Amino acid sequence: MFLKIDSISIQRNKKLLFQDFNLNLKKSQTLILKGSNGIGKSTLLETIAGILEAKSGKILMDTSKLLSGIQKKIFFIGHENCLKDSLSVFENLNVWLRLNKIILSKRQITKKLSFFKIDNLCDSSLKSLSMGQKRKVALSKLLFTESYIWILDEPTNGLDTQSERKFLSLLDAHQKKGGSTILSSHLKFHFKTALIIDLNKFAFQKKIQPDYNSWDML
């Protein structure tokens, strides 16, 4: 297995969201978490990514390495994009790249942005962009990372149909290279190899063990 979530319990604002939650993520697998607003999708993803701490349980990689030691192998994009409105598109990406010890020229970064057709926005300030354009900037980070596991919170929020197709092609390429993804979405994805987990089907106050046989194939 690629990633093992072993009996974790998660709470938010002292409210228990998940208790003894178990999940196995395999190599070259894409899992889609679905559920109503407020059910805890974002909190669950942030816990898996190591941003939040579980109340109990463990998150393991390759059955032996604790999550705390492998953050560089996991890449997370939250629903709030984590971009600074006071900076331009290029400045946002350049700062993030340098923090990750990746040095690229402005020309190289701009070329990558052409994937989502936002290369013409390289010098634009974030505050001047639409919600969809900001989402494309955040998702452009996927073009630079070599992380094994992507954890994405509502990645297609604000995207037009064409950009959604581009994102799905990126997801497909990642999977074909052996990478795995866990993402949340309230939309219907046309991604044939993904498995869906409907979090609404699980009682939060009881032991939760996803039934792999009941998952829908897209």
With respect to residue 187, please indicate whether it lies within any of the assigned structural domains: yes
Residue 33 sits at φ, ψ, to 5 deg, of -95, 125
Considering its fold, how many domains does the chain have in total? 1
Task: Say which residue the tokens 């990478």 belong to.
Answer: 179
User: Mean pLDDT of all residues in the chain?
Assistant: 86
With respect to residue 35, please indicate whether it lies within any of the assigned structural domains: yes
The end-to-end CA distance of the chain, in Å, is 22
With respect to residue 189, please indicate whether it lies within any of the assigned structural domains: yes
With respect to residue 158, please indicate whether it lies within any of the assigned structural domains: yes
With respect to residue 68, please indicate whether it lies within any of the assigned structural domains: yes
> pLDDT tens digits for 131-190?
999 999 999 999 999 888 999 999 999 999 999 999 999 999 999 999 999 999 876 666
Tallying the residues shown for the chain, one arrives at: 218
Contacts of 42 (CB under 8 A, 6+ apart): 78, 79, 153, 184
For residue 203, is pLDDT > 50?
no
Contacts of 178 (CB under 8 A, 6+ apart): 27, 28, 148
With respect to residue 139, please indicate whether it lies within any of the assigned structural domains: no
pLDDT of residue 1: 60
Q: Work out the number of other CB atoms within 10 angstroms of the CB of residue 110.
A: 19
With respect to residue 53, please indicate whether it lies within any of the assigned structural domains: yes
Q: If you average pLDDT over residues 42-55, what whole number do you get?
A: 92
| Cβ-contact 57, 7 below 8 angstroms | yes
* CATH at residue 10: 3.40.50.300
Q: Which domain holds residue 22?
A: 3-81+147-217
With respect to residue 194, please indicate whether it lies within any of the assigned structural domains: yes
